[in-house]
Amino acid sequence: MLSIVVFLPMVVAAVLLAVPRIGDRVSRWTWVVVSAIEVVLVVGLCIGYRRTPPVDGGFAYEERRSWIPTVGSSYHVGIDGFSLPLVALTTVLFAACAIYSLRETRRVRFYAALFLFLESVCLGAFVSLDLVLFFVFFDLSIVGMYFVINGWGHGQARRAALQFFLYTFIGSLALLLGFIVLYLAADPHTFDMVELTEANPLAGNGARGAVALAAIVVGLAIKTPTVPFHTWLPPAHTEAPAAGSAILAGVLLKLGTYGFVRIAMPMLPDQWRRYALVIVIVGVISVLYGALVALAQTNFKRMIAYTSVNHMGYIVLAIGAAGLVADNTEQARTLAITGAVTQMVSHGLVTGALFLLAGVLYERRRTYEIDAYGGLAGQAPVFAAVTAAAMFASLGLPGFSGFIAEFQIFTGSFASAPVYTALSVLGILITAALLLRAYQRMFLGESTNGAFPDFTRREAVSIIPLMLGSVVIGVFPRFLLDVIEPASRMLGVLVVR
Amino acid sequence: MDQMTDDMMVSDLLALAPEAALALAAVLGLLLGSFLPRARQWPVRVLAAVGAVTTIAMTVTVWQRDVYTLFEGSYGIDTATNTVRITVAGSILLLLAMSQPETRGNARESEFVVLLVLGGLGAILLAGANDLLVLLTGYLLASIPLYTLTAFGKDALGTEAALKFYLMGALFGTTMLFGATLLLGVGGGTDYPLLATTTYDAPHAVLGIGAVAVLSGLLFKAGAVPVHFWVPDVAQGARPAVAAIITTVPKLGAVVAIYRLGALVLDPSGLNWRLLLAIIAALSMTLGNFAAFFQTDVRRLLGYSTISQVGYLLVGVVAADRSTLALPAVLLYLAAYALTNLGVFAVVCALPRLRTLTDYTGLIRHKPALVIALIVCLLGLIGTPPTGVFVGKLMVFTAAFDAGFGWLVVLALINAVASVFYYLRWIVPAVSGKSAVDGERPGPFSVAGAVAYCAATASILIGIFAGPILNAMQGSLAVP
């Protein structure tokens, strides 16, 4: 069942590529239909998961087949409270992008195939329970996104794509190095995540453990990205097509943060605790630096890209704080981790929506410069309202998912890292200021520069559901938190063992 | 007593049936070729294909047999030899197919085929050699046909490349002979099992010089730094099909020969050969990659890329005998590399008029399938999962780390990143941009193109079915 969910898009992508006679129209609608089917399948997964949740530390829909037994690697997939929300997010966001891209005209067959391929790869990474398998999907996501930026981006797309590829590829290889160290430390040697988590192979091994943690953290930090590894992100986001940016920010960045909770924390608990303060500091710097640099942007898309650095910073802060043992309780730890995972989902929805909104701007006027727009609220009221909602959601206003996430992160982190948490709250202030300022300049006041048509049906159908999702999580968070919390509690226990 | 040695002789000869099939195909091909009319020599090609298929079939039937040596320990038959037999024979099949546009109907078609088969046979002998003299024979057989092939096009570039290749090859052949003499002097023999026991007490200076001299010839065949400089010239100067042969086939034998020499002779002798090889591996990767950066000619670029790939392979050889993963890792990598490299060259052969990277601009509009095959193979060379080379790299790196060469692994990873750059310089124009010229008008069906599709598919399949393949490649080297 899980494998079908993962590989269905890839199979359809292969068919799209293999049959050259398929026209643009058919390609587009195939894409939309397949991504809709994926959403339905994942809803089915969720229902089944709620009905029979796995035991603590266990996985639902587990499948395991021998793959490379020589190195103890298998095709092992499964779902728990961390992966399910992200799997759901992935399918929703890809469906939104499919609908949004209905107007795409350039090489549609390849475009659709590429996105379907990416969807498979992202889903695969979130459900992998084997390090090699995870790495395979992780790496392929880079390849897929590279071609999206390179083939359909604008401006300096080629350069941005190359920079993106090289940078994140370095990260993935650092990750591979860490995986190899973990593999060799385990006895018997294995790449299986469940076995490695149980074995905790590098407990008490200072030097090797530090090497493994450093390699894995650098790899994931590049993907996340946190300061100082964020420099690839703004150009990649700015030059990518709207749907590509939405996927990049909404899903691919989550591979990094997901890796922290799935791999780094449970498999290297000793080292994680020892260096937790470093992680916390990196998180806080990302929060503040991302917000401050975003404040200085005149390009709307770049600004959102930098707020991603800021939002990812909260996640890093929370998982770092969860590793601080002093003054920390199990409850606070659970809260911080739950907040971090909620933030992943929330950021995916909200930033995905914001990038698609940026795409709407670009389609109308071919620029992202904030100063090129003014008074849009009068001309395009629906567009203005949705953008306002997305911006408020992004700055963490109550009633939206971001508030739930950030509230949990701050309360969960405060006890163990009060100063750092207090500092990072400043980040909210700065993002509030910059988002409101940008909104004011673009949407309020006198309209300038001619006509600006409101949402088309396609745009509305793709973007509004993302915002609705954020509101639903913001108002009724329990259904999501009930899924995440058991896994968070489990992880909290694993980290302090 | 005599009766018994005769029986052993016969059984030894029978065990060499896979090699014999290729040798027979070459000899018969030569005869057949001299009787056939110049313009219709395709039966020779068929004969060679039959020979290669026979080699594969006969190797498969003996795969499960225990490891053993022949002719008083001078030739080893084990998983390593068997893998090289199958890989070389498979490569010959692919090369026969992809060289078609170039050599089909050529007046010297049968010469081309025969030389190709002989070169392949030499590579197999290199891999199986368990004695310095057999090793030298293998070296010569793997070299001389290739010198000739390099000049096959009879053009200025090819002739120059052939001359360079030949002079270098002769030099290192002699060096090897010199090294073998030294080892014979201090070890009292040329077969590996004997050398393994006698060299421990030998004077280290002489032993070291001898070992380095022998290694230098093998490194030359493998195209590793510091004896690599012929590779890009030959890759660029020779015909694309010939370049494909030279950058693929001899490596298969040479790398296994280095592995065997290192594990069986140098390790017991107490020389620090691992460090030496690790340095060579590091230099090959780094130099190959950095020199490839700004190449504009695709074949020259592939020449440098193949130097860097040998570096990664040697990373695995460094771990020989220290990690149980080393042997299957190197063998899997070799097989996957051969397929992937041939896949790229098949694309080059299918488009012989496109010489530079910019010639490939916008090609995806005209030949989407071929470009996708090219992308798969180039990404495979980078080591992107789930291709076979990725699994090979993963295993090789793991083995080297296990053997205590963490620094080398880190260096190899950095190199892998650097290599992305120049492979992308080829991929990027191919998938984007408008083609300046109208490009190659597609023929209805191109054999070289079909080879490219097969190689691309197979390189992914090796990755997906790496488990069973690796299981089959487990094993140890043959020691009498």
Q: pTM of the predicted model, to two decimals?
A: 0.90
Name chain A contacts of B424, Cβ cutoff 8 Å: 162, 165
- From A71, A140, A143, residue closest to B325, measured CB to CB: A71
Beta carbons within 8 Å of A446's beta carbon, 6+ residues apart? A374, A375
Q: Interface pTM (ipTM) of the complex? A: 0.85
Q: What percent of chain B has pLDDT over 70?
A: 96
Name chain A contacts of B402, Cβ cutoff 8 Å: 184
Which of B389, B417, B421, B474 has the most A C-beta neighbours within 10 Å, making it the best mutation to test the interface with A? B417
Exposure string for A390-404, b = 16+ CB within 10 A, e = fewer: bbbbbbbeeebbbbb
- From A17, A169, A180, residue closest to B420, measured CB to CB: A169
Name chain B contacts of A68, Cβ cutoff 8 Å: 391, 466-467, 470
- From A67, A70, A136, residue closest to B328, measured CB to CB: A70
Q: pLDDT for B69-128, tens place per residue?
A: 887 778 888 889 999 999 999 999 999 988 887 777 777 888 889 999 999 999 999 999
- From A68, A162, A181, residue closest to B424, measured CB to CB: A162
For B427, the closest chain A residue by CA position comes to A147
Out of A141-145, A339-343, B4-8, B194-198, pick the least confident. B4-8
Could you say which DSSP state residue B104 is in? T
Q: Hey, what amino acid is at B97?
A: A
**Does B394 sit within 8 Å of A71, measured CB to CB?**
yes
For A20, the closest chain B residue by CA position comes to B368
**Does A169 sit within 8 Å of B417, measured CB to CB?**
yes
Distance between B440 CA and the closest CA of chain A, angstroms = 19
**Does B428 sit within 8 Å of A68, measured CB to CB?**
no
> What is the pLDDT, as a whole number, of residue B318?
92
**Does B431 sit within 8 Å of A147, measured CB to CB?**
yes
Q: What percent of chain B has pLDDT over 90?
A: 39
**Does B395 sit within 8 Å of A176, measured CB to CB?**
no
Q: pLDDT for A374-408, tens place per residue?
A: 888 888 888 899 999 999 998 888 889 989 999 99
Query: What confidence tier does B1 reach under pLDDT thresholds 50, 70, 90?
Result: very low
> What is the pLDDT, as a whole number, of residue A231?
86
- Opening angle at CA B125, ends B119 and B130, nearest 5: 155
Distance between A361 CA and the closest CA of chain B, angstroms = 25
Name chain A contacts of B456, Cβ cutoff 8 Å: none
Pairs of residues, one from chain A and one from chain B, whose beta carbons lie less than 8 Å apart: 82
Q: Hey, what amino acid is at B320?
A: A
> What is the pLDDT, as a whole number, of residue B437?
52
Q: In terms of Cα–Cα distance, which of A173, A124, A192 is closest to B393?
A: A173
Contacts of residues A208-214 at CB distance under 8 Å and 24 or more positions apart, as own/partner, are A208/A181, A209/A268, A209/A270, A209/A271, A210/A271, A210/A275, A211/A178, A211/A181, A211/B406, A212/A178, A212/A181, A212/A182, A212/A185, A212/A268, A212/A271, A213/A178, A213/A264, A213/A268, A213/A271, A213/A272, A213/A275, A214/A178
Which of A64, A70, A110, A149 has the most B C-beta neighbours within 10 Å, making it the best mutation to test the interface with B? A70
Query: What confidence tier does B435 reach under pLDDT thresholds 50, 70, 90?
Result: low
pLDDT above 70: residue B436: no
Query: For chain A, what is the radius of gyration of the CA atoms?
Result: 21
Q: pLDDT for A284-321, tens place per residue?
A: 999 999 999 998 988 899 999 999 999 999 999 999 99
**Does A151 sit within 8 Å of B410, measured CB to CB?**
no
Query: Which structure tokens are listed for B333?
Result: 């990598």
For B402, the closest chain A residue by CA position comes to A184
- From A140, A183, A211, residue closest to B385, measured CB to CB: A140
Distance between B225 CA and the closest CA of chain A, angstroms = 24
Name chain A contacts of B470, Cβ cutoff 8 Å: 68-71
Could you say which DSSP state residue B265 is in? I
- Opening angle at CA A297, ends A248 and A395, nearest 5: 65
Q: pLDDT for B243-259, tens place per residue?
A: 999 999 999 999 999 99
- From A132, A150, A166, residue closest to B394, measured CB to CB: A132
Q: pLDDT for A439-466, tens place per residue?
A: 988 888 777 767 788 888 888 889 999 9
| Structural domain that includes position A441 | 1-495
Q: What is the 3-state secondary structure (H, E, C) of chain A?
A: CHHHHHHHHHHHHHHHHHCCCCCHHHHHHHHHHHHHHHHHHHHHHHHHHHHCCCCCCCCEEEEEEEEEHHHCEEEEEEECCCHHHHHHHHHHHHHHHHHHHHHCCCCHHHHHHHHHHHHHHHHHHHHECEHHHHHHHHHHHHHHHHHHHHHHCCCCHHHHHHHHHHHHHHHHHHHHHHHHHHHHHCCCCCCEHHHHHHHCCCCCCHHHHHHHHHHHHHHHHHHCCCCCCCCCHHHHHHHCCHHHHHHHHHHHHHHHHHHHHHHHHHHCHHHHHHCHHHHHHHHHHHHHHHHHHHHCCCEHHHHHHHHHHHHHHHHHHHHHHHHCCCCCCHHHHHHHHHHHHHHHHHHHHHHHHHHHHHHHHHHHHCCCEHHHCCCHHHHCHHHHHHHHHHHHHHCCCCCCHHHHHHHHHHHHHHCCCHHHHHHHHHHHHHHHHHHHHHHHHHHCCCCCCCCCCCCCHHHHHHHHHHHHHHHHHHHCCHHHHHHHHHHHHHHHHHHHC
Domain ranges in chain B are: 1-473
Domain tally, chain A: 1
> What is the pLDDT, as a whole number, of residue A201?
84
